[in-house]
Amino acid sequence: MRTIDRRTFTGALGAFAAACAHDGPAPDLIIHGGPIYTGVEAAPRVEALRVRGGRFAALGALSDVNTGAGRARTINLNGAAAFAGFTDAHVHLGGVGMSTLVLDLVGVESLATMLERLRAYSAANSGDGFIYGRGWIETHWPERRFPTRADLDAIIPHRPVMLERVDGHAAVVNSAALALAGIDANTPNPAGGSIERASDGAATGMLIDNAMSLVQARVPPPDEATVRLALQRAVALYASRGWTGAANMSTSAVEARILAEMAASGALPLWLDAYLTPEDAMAELQSGPRAVGDLHVRGVKAYMDGALGSRGAALLAPYSDAHSDGLLVTQPSELAALLRWARGRGLQAATHAIGDRGNRLVLDAYRDVFADDPAALRAARWRVEHAQVIDRADIPRFAAMGVIASMQPSHAISDLHFAPSRLGPGRLGGAYAWRALLDSGAMIAAGSDAPVEKGDPLIEFYAACHRHDLSGFAGPDWHGEQAVSRAQALRMLTLGPAIASFSEAERGTIEVGKRADVSVFGADLMTIAPGQIPSAGAILTVSGGRITHEAL
């Protein structure tokens, strides 16, 4: 097994110019035959568009677009609808690809089903190596509880097992994994983490946030070939779903280097903004942001708190269903030091905050780092990732400070089954509060947080404008008034992510001269019934003028 080579990713820069060479100009591309939504208020729809040299060359009537010299390929949409390219403003592409290589637990409907899947996976992958899986969520299970090490021990007693919850902020491990990590009744909770315990003090096997690292530190990391395969699978999958761009969060230096090599060779089908882990950012970005082709390494991804489902999100008051107010994954003083370092190098900060206390602490930290020049904070376009539960007094601060709210609409339709019990009615008004943020003047960049969620632009659009789960359910306490219009949802998934990455002059709308990014779906998302949106299907994806997916 090859070990990961931690060489800097910038070595791919020199290969980029050569990779861009080609034998001759590609033919133009003309798209027509369905509604084309530009995202531009002055001309919201056009009949046809023409792409030349990777950019929009002409817009308007088909007769006008179809004139002029040069070869052209014409695509008739036959009633399908085209939009400015959809961008996932928050994804973990390594995790998306890696989920295809490990035990997939997404959608398991019960603890019993999860254990049976674990049994089958172990039988198909025999040996004594570590078993890793991800994707379970207990909120719908008939057992109505977290799994325990005893559950896993009954299936696999001697081989280490770690199964992450879908949010990536909690995991269950078996006794062999606990022993491997040296966790027993006397092991203290690490800072920003919790070892869940039974009444006698013994570890139950549930590890929350930073406690997971006690086991993860004993697991050999994937080799470089595996990381490369995972990323290749992820970007291909994303193009097939209609995404033309993405912001990759918590990117490692190894992932950044591989992505840079893909960009340099023309194998990256997305405009990609990368935010490195704090450790790798400090090692790789001393001189500031860098770019290789369609890969733009813009900044650093930090964490303030945990997740709501595992009760790790930091709240201003205790959870309504537990005697806890959550966890701070990073202490405020540590975050402040990182942010000062980032500002000094012109890097963009993107900080995870889910609970209302977590969001307030991040906003306070951003304010303090730019206390000498608040206008510079607005220009820096620093981001809060998730901005999931916000105290109502803090909602206007996003617009006032110029902080981008990077939110994932699908979280609201996944969490609606447990968030009311976690938060109680008094806090729900500031939860997943897209409309309130937009009304205050804040900018929202929408994404998916895949592999926590599926990573489907249609689900994100549906969730933003409808705020019901995929079965059509939304409880009476779920604040339907926080849903947004379809035009707002479209902006959140197109222009919003472009603004969040300083690239609105290049992309985010369909305008002559801009990068030719187009997402085409099988039905008109602006007019069909809400329940039909998730199944509309991506039928054509054009990124930078290249067709990266076609199912016409």
Contact status, residue 349 vs residue 367, Cβ threshold 8 Å: no
Domain span at residue 175? 93-216
* 472 and 351 part of one domain: yes
Which of 182, 216, 250 is the endpoint of a domain?
Answer: 216
Contact status, residue 302 vs residue 369, Cβ threshold 8 Å: no
**Gap between the Cα atoms of 89 and 449, Å rounded:** 8
Which of 168, 192, 216 is the endpoint of a domain?
Answer: 216
* 203 and 336 part of one domain: no
User: Residue 24: its pLDDT value, please?
Assistant: 57
**Gap between the Cα atoms of 134 and 405, Å rounded:** 27
User: Residue 69: its pLDDT value, please?
Assistant: 67
Residue 348 lies in a domain: yes
User: Residue 76: its pLDDT value, please?
Assistant: 97
Domain count for the chain: 2
User: Which residues have a Cβ under 8 Å from the Cβ of 398 and sit 6 or more positions away?
Assistant: 363, 384, 387, 404, 405, 437, 440, 442, 443
Q: What share of the chain is helix, strand, coil (3-state, %, to 5)?
A: 35, 25, 40
pLDDT along the chain (552 residues), means of 10: 39 42 72 98 96 97 86 95 98 94 92 96 90 91 95 96 92 96 94 93 95 92 94 98 98 98 97 98 97 97 96 97 96 98 98 98 98 98 98 98 98 95 96 98 98 96 98 95 98 98 98 98 98 98 98 90
Residue 456 lies in a domain: yes
Structure tokens at 82: 């085209």
* 211 and 309 part of one domain: no
Amino acid at 490: L
Task: Give the SS3 label for residue 235.
Answer: helix
Task: Give the SS3 label for residue 271.
Answer: strand
**Gap between the Cα atoms of 69 and 484, Å rounded:** 43
Residue 538 lies in a domain: no
What's the CATH number where 171 sits? 3.10.310.70
User: Residue 299: its pLDDT value, please?
Assistant: 98
Determine which helix (DSSP H) or strand (DSSP E) holds 161, and give its type and residue range.
Answer: strand 161-165
**Gap between the Cα atoms of 39 and 442, Å rounded:** 18
* 342 and 198 part of one domain: no
